[in-house]
Amino acid sequence: MTKGVLSVGQPFPTFKKAAVVSLEKGKEFFDISSEDLINDEGRWTVMFWWPKDFTFVCPTEIAEFNKSFGEFRDRTANLIGASTDSEFVHLAWRKNHDDLRDLRFPMLADTSKSLAEELGILEANEKIAYRATFIIDPQGIIRWVSIYDLNVGRNVKEVIRVLDALQTDELCPCNWEKGKETIKA
Amino acid sequence: MMEDTLTYSETTREFLDFLRLDKDYRSNALDLLEDGKSRYLADLKVNFKNSFESEQLSKKEVALLGVALAANASHALLGEFFRNNAQEEGASSAEIAEAVACASLLSANNVFYRFRHFLNKEKYNEIPARIKMNIMARPVSGKEFFELISLAVSAVNGCEMCVKSHEASLLELGTKEERVFEAVRLAAVITSVTKVIY
């Protein structure tokens, strides 16, 4: 009934969704679209999903990602958190929880569940998203996926390690070897 | 007098914080990089911070190598940073002292042996060096780690003969090439930091 999870090498699906970006009145919401993922500036995207707002494991994990916000920024990667809750539930949760008030990344609202569905990360019974993490390159291609079951927390350090490994390294001509293709940035 | 017109970016401020430097720390190189909004600062910071996540070197070893490399670079700020780090990771003052001593001695050896290597003349190879190297006899941090510091310092100072001999001696002691590589990588990154923070 469901197709598999979108995986490495496939383009991230197109979408346009509301996200909570601030607690400030009038500036709470912002639309994020898949077009933002594709860019010439070498900006990567890390999108991580959780099953439901207002649950226990989630805020710990989200706070952990938030603590590492600078690590992602320094690696020119945009961090996006997402669940199938609406932007209004996101906002209420952020207001309600101490650890979430100062979030530095947007919380995407996949209210119609269309994106989670397309990504193949919807849990069959409850129709909520698994703890999936996607690393998407500046061309909009999925380069890494990890999926944890509903109750398993993630290791943010591992996500950073993978991002480091994926991003181009050793562009220096000192590293040039015969037969290697020309260095591209 | 130059006014503080430039506020450093968040990336840089976090980096300074990581290095336990004062909020109003400034350097000419940082000013120039910030002024041009260079993305290099983020790379430099990631390179440096990743050095602390090594699978081949313990946190204490990273700190002691740092002490030695800072000493080799005559770098007081990084020297202080790594000394604190080393202490927190349980290094004794004897081990810290040895890292400094090793860096100083090796910098002498790098100049000296490089000269012999460059010329490779029998005469210069015969005249006794008259450079005391007693600290090499029974290192407090162990023969292997002493060799590793020696290699890292020699790599920075660019003595081919020293690099080759210390690498060979490390492999003989059973050191894995991955560990040798990590020590040199750390030396390279610390050297790059000394160009921006000083």
- At A22-78, the pLDDT tens digits run 999 999 999 999 999 999 988 999 999 999 999 877 788 899 999 999 999 999 999
> What ipTM did this prediction achieve?
0.72
Model-level pTM greater than 0.90? no
Taking contacts as CB-CB distances below 8 angstroms, the residues of chain A near B14 are: 70
Closest CA to A96 of A55, A132, A57: A55
Question: What local confidence, expressed as pLDDT, does residue A124 receive?
Answer: 87
The catalytic position among B162, B163, B187, B196 is: B162
Distances (CA, A) of B101 to B12, B81, B104, B147, B162: 32, 17, 5, 13, 17
Closest CA to B101 of B149, B46, B41: B149
Question: What local confidence, expressed as pLDDT, does residue A1 receive?
Answer: 41
**Domain limits for position A64:** 16-166
Question: Nearest chain B Cα to A71, which residue?
Answer: B46
pLDDT, mean of residues A124-149 = 94
A151-175 pLDDT, tens digit each: 788 899 999 999 998 987 666 766 6
Cα A144 vs. chain centroid, distance in angstroms?
11
Question: Binning pLDDT at 50, 70 and 90, where does residue A180 land?
Answer: low
Answer whether B46 sits within 8 Å of A76, measured CB to CB: no
Residue A183 lies in a domain: no
Question: Binning pLDDT at 50, 70 and 90, where does residue A118 land?
Answer: very high
> Residue A177: pLDDT above 70?
no
Residue A86 lies in a domain: yes
Q: Is the domain of B98 the same as that of B64? A: yes
Residue A5 lies in a domain: no
Residue A51 lies in a domain: yes
Question: Binning pLDDT at 50, 70 and 90, where does residue A4 land?
Answer: confident
Counting the structural domains of chain A, the total is 1
Active site residue B162: yes
Question: Which range (A68-82, A133-147, B130-144) has the least confidence?
Answer: B130-144
Q: Is the domain of B33 the same as that of B105? A: no
The catalytic position among B33, B44, B71, B159 is: B159
CATH of the domain at A122: 3.40.30.10
Instruction: Considering only the beta carbons, identify the residue of A74, A157, A164 that sits closest to B11.
Output: A74
Q: What is the DSSP letter of A129?
A: B
Tokens representing residue A134 in the block: 């996607």
Answer whether B50 sits within 8 Å of A75, measured CB to CB: no
Q: Is the domain of B49 the same as that of B64? A: no
Tokens representing residue A117 in the block: 């569905």
Residue A75 lies in a domain: yes
Q: What Rg, from alpha-carbon coordinates, does chain B have?
A: 18
Q: Is the domain of B3 the same as that of B98? A: no
Q: Is the domain of B3 the same as that of B71? A: no
> Are A149 and A130 spatial neighbours (Cβ–Cβ below 8 Å)?
yes
Q: Is the domain of B49 the same as that of B61? A: no
Higher pLDDT, A3 or A55: A55
Q: Is the domain of B121 the same as that of B92? A: yes
Question: Binning pLDDT at 50, 70 and 90, where does residue A182 land?
Answer: low
> Residue B1: pLDDT above 50?
no
> Are B21 and B169 spatial neighbours (Cβ–Cβ below 8 Å)?
no
The one-letter code for the residue type at A155 is: N
Q: Is the domain of B87 the same as that of B147? A: yes
**Domain limits for position B84:** 57-194
Question: What local confidence, expressed as pLDDT, does residue A185 receive?
Answer: 46
Q: Is the domain of B184 the same as that of B101? A: yes
Residue A177 lies in a domain: no
The DSSP annotation for A9-38 comes to TSBPPP-EEEEE--SSTT-SEEEEEGGGG-
Higher pLDDT, A150 or A117: A117
Answer whether A73 sits within 8 Å of B50, measured CB to CB: no
Question: What local confidence, expressed as pLDDT, does residue A38 receive?
Answer: 95
CATH of the domain at B159: 1.20.1290.10
Residue A145 lies in a domain: yes
Residues 6+ apart with CB under 8 A from A113: A84, A122, A127
Q: Is the domain of B104 the same as that of B175? A: yes
Interface probe with B: pick from A44, A74, A157, A169, most Cβ of B within 10 Å = A74
Q: Is the domain of B129 the same as that of B91? A: yes
Counting the structural domains of chain B, the total is 2
Q: Is the domain of B87 the same as that of B11? A: no
Question: Binning pLDDT at 50, 70 and 90, where does residue B7 land?
Answer: confident
